[in-house]
A and B are shown apart, each in its own frame.
Chain A
Amino acid sequence: MTAILAGIGRGVIDALSGSGRGLLLLRSIILQTPHAWRMRREILEQMQVVAIGSMPMVIVTSVFVGAVTAVQAVYQMQAYVPMKFLGTVISKSVFIELGPVLMALVVGSRLCANYAAELGTMKVTEQLDAMTIMAIDPDRYLAMPRFWAAVLMIPVVTIFCDAIAILGGYVASVLTLDVSSGVFIEGLQMFYKHSDLLGGLIKSFFFGGIIAMSGIYYGFNTKGGAEGVGRSTMTAVVGSCLSVLVGDYLLAIVLFQIVFEKT
């Protein structure tokens, strides 16, 4: 019994100290942001990693997200709801939830694993120590460009996802579900609110931060050799996915119950 309580206590202390170190890292990254112009080349390189490197995955995921949403929406609506609402259902689902969350999970996992493995390898091979000895702050040189690249580019990737998913839903509806083009487009325009799109993008902005922080934090705190890099990469991805889902719930309450509720 004592051992179980001690284990729980250690777990709580580890979680609290980990959160504290994570917040200190975030603070350090924010404080390094005035150097962003000097680090523009590194930031652009990292933005390229997020956007260009993820694009094939974004296209495939988004097309099928749109198509599957259309098929399942038609299945649920056919007996009770007019088909003119199909475009509305697809656009609202994609803008508010599917686009931001799926991109955070799919592109985010790839990015988070990339950050954790790259920085973790640098840690275990003493490259981070070498940088520190050269009086170059790894928080500025490595963490800050990665953080802002993720925060700025995950919303951009989400916009692509939204557009491609709507297109995928349109193609699936028109070609295979016997819904006319005009009816689908009418549904898209009906009940459209800027706050749907904006809310989704605000979510993906925060998701970018969560993904980057998880990858950078676990990468910087890697211990051991190759096994340690594998462990920290796995932990970073799992932590990022869970945090995105919890964050999605909290942001949904703040954005759609409080901020946009009156608009």
Chain B
Amino acid sequence: MKQDWDIPPPPNQRVADPASFKGIVVEGVSKRFGPKTVLDNADLLIHKGETLVIIGRSGEGKSVLLKHIVRLLEPDAGRILVEGAEVGALEHGPLMELRKKFGFLFQGAALFDSMTIAKNIGLALEEHTDWPADRIRARACECLAQVGLVGAEDKLPSELSGGMKKRAGLARAIVMEPQYILYDEPTTGLDPITSDAINDLIIQLQKELGVTSIVVTHDMPSAFKVGNRMAMLSRGRIVFTGTVDEVRTTTHPMVRQFIEGRSQGPLGAF
């Protein structure tokens, strides 16, 4: 039975002067992989210092959007600006400098499996500073302590559990004291207690380091806990943005279906 849903228009996520916006501007970004359109003229603003949670169903392009921000992927159309700099137009050197401002926690942690945890964490320092080895190791241990992994520095990634790998990945993401941290499904596949510990770490990092965070997730308890603001991605576009309280009380049918976890609704079941 076909139903018509009263879906409000997408929120206005454009600014008059993107070049002077202090944060990240995603402007009309489209991306296709073969015949599948993953992002379709997506607009989004990420304000400096906030934690924005991007929610949406699996395969809707949340991780793809995240990868565009640091130019791991390039858009077919549209542009992304970070602190006024158009990411797609940067030459190699400035792009590398921009990436140093970012930390990225991958869904599978993406630890270098031939290196110890300390080497994984210290690699960026080895490459970008002239610090001696003992200072780099001390900093790696400090980051491991921040994520509750004291004593794991000489282990290989294969010796860690899934939750420990995520925390080690987080330690690696913060080692350079980034201004922006991008989290791709930080709690997926973890038990509820480890998930909550990761959520606490995300909040702690925002408070202590003042970082701007973008969290991609479909884990709603996590989203409500860590987010200042949420955006919902569906069919390649941002269909809703609002504060956590606005998400709780919205009547937007797509958001309601998603946060209530119903199979009936405008998002469909499959």
Q: Are A126 and B127 CB-contacts (below 8 A) given A132-B72, A135-B97? A: no
Q: CB-CB < 8 A to B23: which residues of A?
A: none
Q: CB-CB < 8 A to B108: which residues of A?
A: 125-126
Give the residues from 96 to 111 in chain B that come closer than 8 angstroms, CB to CB, to chain A.
Answer: 96-97, 99-100, 102-104, 106-108, 110-111
Q: Which residue of A lies closest to B92 (CB)?
A: A137
- Complex Cα gap A134–B72 (Å): 11
Contact A136 B110 (CB under 8 A): no
Q: Are A133 and B104 CB-contacts (below 8 A) given A125-B110, A126-B110? A: yes
In the complex, whether A30 has a CB less than 8 A from a CB of chain B is: no
Contact B110 A135 (CB under 8 A): no
Q: CB-CB < 8 A to A133: which residues of B?
A: 70, 72, 99, 102-104
Give the residues from 54 to 99 in chain B that come closer than 8 angstroms, CB to CB, to chain A.
Answer: 67, 70, 72, 96-97, 99
Q: Which residue of B lies closest to A134 (CB)?
A: B124
Q: CB-CB < 8 A to A131: which residues of B?
A: 112
Q: CB-CB < 8 A to A135: which residues of B?
A: 96-97, 99-100, 124, 127-128
Q: CB-CB < 8 A to A132: which residues of B?
A: 72, 99
Q: Which residue of B lies closest to A122 (CB)?
A: B112
In the complex, whether A129 has a CB less than 8 A from a CB of chain B is: yes
- Complex Cα gap A126–B112 (Å): 9
Size category of the B interface is 20 to 34
In the complex, whether B259 has a CB less than 8 A from a CB of chain A is: no
Q: CB-CB < 8 A to A125: which residues of B?
A: 108, 110, 113
Contact A129 B110 (CB under 8 A): yes
Q: Which residue of A lies closest to B101 (CB)?
A: A135
In the complex, whether A127 has a CB less than 8 A from a CB of chain B is: yes
Partner of A127, one of B70, B72, B113, B176: B113
CB distance from B134 to the nearest CB of A (A): 17
CB distance from A161 to the nearest CB of B (A): 29
- Complex Cα gap A130–B107 (Å): 11
In the complex, whether B123 has a CB less than 8 A from a CB of chain A is: yes
Size category of the A interface is 10 to 19
CB distance from A228 to the nearest CB of B (A): 15
Q: Are A126 and B97 CB-contacts (below 8 A) given A133-B70, A136-B123? A: no
Contact B72 A129 (CB under 8 A): yes
Q: CB-CB < 8 A to B72: which residues of A?
A: 129, 132-133
Contact B127 A130 (CB under 8 A): no
Q: Are A134 and B113 CB-contacts (below 8 A) given A126-B106, A129-B67, A129-B72? A: no
- Complex Cα gap A127–B104 (Å): 12
Q: Are A130 and B110 CB-contacts (below 8 A) given A135-B97, A135-B100? A: yes
Partner of A136, one of B70, B97, B127: B127
Give the residues from 102 to 148 in chain A that come closer than 8 angstroms, CB to CB, to chain B.
Answer: 121-122, 125-127, 129-137, 141
Q: Which residue of A lies closest to B107 (CB)?
A: A126
CB distance from B221 to the nearest CB of A (A): 25
Q: CB-CB < 8 A to B106: which residues of A?
A: 126, 129-130
Q: CB-CB < 8 A to A122: which residues of B?
A: 112
Give the residues from 21 to 45 in chain B that come closer than 8 angstroms, CB to CB, to chain A.
Answer: none
- Complex Cα gap A134–B175 (Å): 10
CB distance from A223 to the nearest CB of B (A): 11
Give the residues from 132 to 189 in chain A that come closer than 8 angstroms, CB to CB, to chain B.
Answer: 132-137, 141
CB distance from A123 to the nearest CB of B (A): 11
- Complex Cα gap A134–B101 (Å): 9
- Complex Cα gap A132–B182 (Å): 14
Q: Are A134 and B67 CB-contacts (below 8 A) given A126-B106, A126-B110, A127-B112? A: no
CB distance from A195 to the nearest CB of B (A): 42
Q: CB-CB < 8 A to B172: which residues of A?
A: 130, 134
Q: Which residue of A lies closest to B63 (CB)?
A: A126
CB distance from B176 to the nearest CB of A (A): 8
Give the residues from 38 to 70 in chain A that come closer than 8 angstroms, CB to CB, to chain B.
Answer: none
Q: 9 tightest CB-CB pairs across the interface, nearest first?
A: A126-B110, A130-B110, A135-B99, A135-B96, A133-B104, A134-B124, A135-B100, A126-B106, A136-B127
Can you list 22 A-B pairs, Cβ within 8 angstroms, ordered by A? A121-B113, A126-B106, A126-B107, A127-B111, A130-B112, A130-B172, A131-B112, A132-B72, A133-B72, A133-B103, A134-B123, A134-B124, A134-B176, A135-B96, A135-B97, A135-B99, A135-B100, A135-B128, A136-B123, A136-B127, A137-B96, A141-B127
Q: Which residues of B approach A to under 8 Å, CB–CB? A: 67, 70, 72, 96-97, 99-100, 102-104, 106-108, 110-113, 123-124, 127-128, 172, 176
